[in-house]
Amino acid sequence: MTLARETASLRQQVVTAIRDAILFGGLAPGQKLSERELCANLGVSRTLLREGLQQLQAEGLIVNVMHKGPSVASLTREQARDIYKVRGSLEALAAKEFTQNATNDQRKLLAQRLKDIKKAGTQNDSHDLVKAKNAFYDVLISGCGNAVVGQMLTTLNNRVTILRRQSLATPGRLSKSLEELQAILKAIEAGDGDLAGQLCAQHVDNAADIVLSQFSKPRK
């Protein structure tokens, strides 16, 4: 993790660097965080680091246990299940309202974002793939015209990204996911908001089935 001090406030760079390391696998769930090592790697003071860790704790990515210090948060199966339930309902509503409210430019951009996902998938880059999938949903949210839905999904975004990375890493899931997203886009282009919503909810349910089944697997 390295910081470019001129591009943003140093504190925000600290938050972004650690957040990305958590979201994209550089820091594992449950991993204990050494403040000394993080300060050395990032080149910042302990005070600044702790301010950043407090923000990440508020985002649900870090837990701070008394007498043990900070560590990367782990999702339980129950938490993952609940996140998928909420995500499915919200994204179904976003897809339905995107169909009704999105501009032509937003519809074109959504189609382009799907192409970006396909491209990232062919390059076998998990980081770019997850970022492309997130970008697809960013367009869906921004074009749905419902600020409350957008705010709630944004709040879930970090934990959804962790689960999304886990889902897409499952063999065979990417090709199926692309088929499902193409069907959602087709329904949107046809102006069928109800169908787009139903397909979006099913897409989330399918991802949930894969990820939740992995929680049941015994640890080696």
Q: What is the mean pLDDT of each run of 10 residues along the chain (220 residues)?
A: 60 92 90 94 92 91 88 92 96 97 97 96 86 94 94 88 87 93 98 98 95 70
pLDDT at 10: 87
pLDDT at 7: 39
Which residues contact residue 100 at a Cβ distance below 8 angstroms, ignoring those fewer than 6 apart?
A: 145, 193
pLDDT at 220: 47
Residue found by looking up tokens 């957040």 in the block: 19
Partnered with residue 71 across adjacent β-strands are 32, 63
User: DSSP label at 146?
Assistant: -
> Tokens at residue 29, please?
């769930």
pLDDT at 158: 86
Query: What are the domain boundaries of the chain?
Result: 10-72, 77-215
CATH label, 77-215, candidates 3.40.50.620, 1.10.287.3510, 1.20.120.530, 2.40.128.640: 1.20.120.530
Q: Supply the pTM of this predicted model.
A: 0.83
State whether residue 26 is helix, strand or coil.
coil
- Cα distances from 33 to residues 30, 49, 147, 195, in angstroms, run 9, 11, 35, 45
Quote the CA–CA distance of 198 and 69 in Å, as a whole number. 43
CATH of segment(s) 10-72: 1.10.10.10
pLDDT at 218: 46
pLDDT at 1: 63
